Structure formats: structure tokens, C-alpha cells
Amino acid sequence: MKAKIQVSRKALKKCDLNPQSAKTATKLLQKELKKESMIAKWIKKSDILAMDCEMVGVGTDGRQDALARCSIIDFDGNVLFDRTVSPVEKVTDYRTRVSGIRPRSFKNAISFSQCLKEVGALLKDKIVVGHALKNDFQALMLSHPKRQTRDTARYRPYMRYRKNGTKLLPRSLKTLAAEFLKRSIQEGEHDSVEDARAALELYKRQQFDWEKYLQEHKVCFLAGRMPPVPSENTIREEKSDPKSNQVEPLLLDAFDTESGVKPEVRIPDTNTLALMEYDA
């Protein structure tokens, strides 16, 4: 990125640039500077991975989730792992319309145990970015420290209130990508690599604020847990303290000072998250 910024600055200094070229170079420089301002430089890029999984249905009614594909990418979007996985149980619903999985997809599939071994090794000590990660970890039968998860489905600025304003709900990855990335995804069958990249881009947009908050407050609320609803006195004190301005919007999400009503904040259960992830 530094190289791109230097090139843009050199282009602006050239005397032979026509007005249109200068305008283009200026826009490029502004774009790169904006990207740089979003980066949490104290975190190594090599420590961040993004993951997404696709499921099929098992059991008599096909409603139980089973891992069918797992994709992991690095901070630059390069694919580190992308394999189909043979479910331990018999598949009763391929969910092709959503998962993109068909019987022939398992021709070169690896075993679940091999997937578990390889994925576990990749994710060890890494910050994992994804959307509705709880579902993915459950399908993988893996646990990961909450302080090392960045779930865009449970990041407050990406969530929405119910119409009555009493409950925070996650939004689908498709909706977030359209609104914040101006990108269309999941138009048909889902692609776990594409979904992982979309979640990663959403994280990058908020990386600086997200990581700074976690660093300063030493809590996991943005990493997967909601903060306690602050009292009215606490909010007044934070408003009077200039140092608290950067986190005030996050806290005001949980308490509307104008209405004076404290909404009940609940964490969506697994079923709700799954429905939101696959929201058409």
C-alpha cells in the first residue's frame, strides 16, 4: 500500500500531467490514504484469516447441519484451504440451492477427521473473521477463543434493531455486502470462498475502530459478546469526557438517551443466525 501511495504522490508532482490525469491521481491517492486509515497497524496481517463453511442436511428430516465444504483465506484474499468434506452421516438434503453442493461434489472430498486436523492447524493462534462463525465452528466441532474471533454477524455497527427497537438482530451477509461493499453475492448458490472474502472486506472497513475498541477496553463484546447496557449516569460521564468520544456511538447503540428507554438486548440463538446468514 505504501508503494501505491508513493506512486500516486509522484504522479501528482509531475509537471506534464494534464488536468484529467491529475484528478485521477488525486482520487487514487485519497482512496489509498482512506484504506490506510482503516488498518490496525499493530496487528500483523499474517495473524488474520477469514473462513466460511457450507453445510448439507443429515438426519431423517435433513434439518441437522453437517459440514460439506470449508474455505479459509488470508488477509489478502488468497485461498489457503478450500476442500469438500465427506459428512460422517448420510446426506438426506444437499441444499444445493443454497450450498451449491451436489452428490458429485464429494468425488475428491477429504474425510472429516483430515479436515479437522488441517483446519485446526491453520486457525491455531489466529484471528478468525467470518459471518455467523458460531455455525461454522459447530459444524467443524472446533472451539476458538472469543477474543480471537471477529464475527460480522455480531458486530454492533453491522446489526439492526427490530422495528420496536427492543432487540438487536444480525443482518445477512448478502445485505451487508450490498450496502457496505456495493457488491452482489449469493445471487444463486453460495460460494464459501466468495462469502469469506466478503466477510473479510467488511472487517477491513471497520478494522481500526474494531481493534482499537478491543485493545482499549479489554473486552470481547465486539468479538462475539454484547456489552452490558450502560446506566444513564455512565453515559453522562462519558459524554463529558472528551476521551470517550470515540466509543460513545457504540455505547449509545444500547441506550437511547432521547427516549430514556433501555431496550432489552439479547444475543440471537444459533437458529436465528443461520436464518439470517441464508436470508435470500
The CATH number that applies at residue 87 is 3.30.420.10
For residue 227, what pLDDT is reported? Answer: 47
β 48-58/91-93 pair status: antiparallel
Is 26 inside any structural domain? no
Residues in the chain, pLDDT under 50: 220-231, 234-235, 244-268, 270, 273-280
- pLDDT tens digits, 197-228: 999 999 999 999 999 988 887 654 444 444 44
Is 32 inside any structural domain? no
- Rounded CA separation 67/112 (Å): 8
Is 130 inside any structural domain? yes
Is 149 inside any structural domain? yes
Is 24 inside any structural domain? no
Helices (H), the chain: 2-13, 19-37, 96-99, 112-123, 133-140, 173-176, 192-217, 232-240, 248-252, 270-277
Taking the model in full, what pTM does it have?
A: 0.68
- Rounded CA separation 30/221 (Å): 32
What's the chain's average pLDDT? 79
Is 106 inside any structural domain? yes
Is 200 inside any structural domain? yes
Q: How many domains in the chain?
A: 1
Q: What phi and psi, each to the nearest 5 degrees, are found at residue 86?
A: -75, 120
For residue 235, what pLDDT is reported? Answer: 46
Range of 182's domain?
A: 53-211+269-277
For residue 2, what pLDDT is reported? Answer: 55
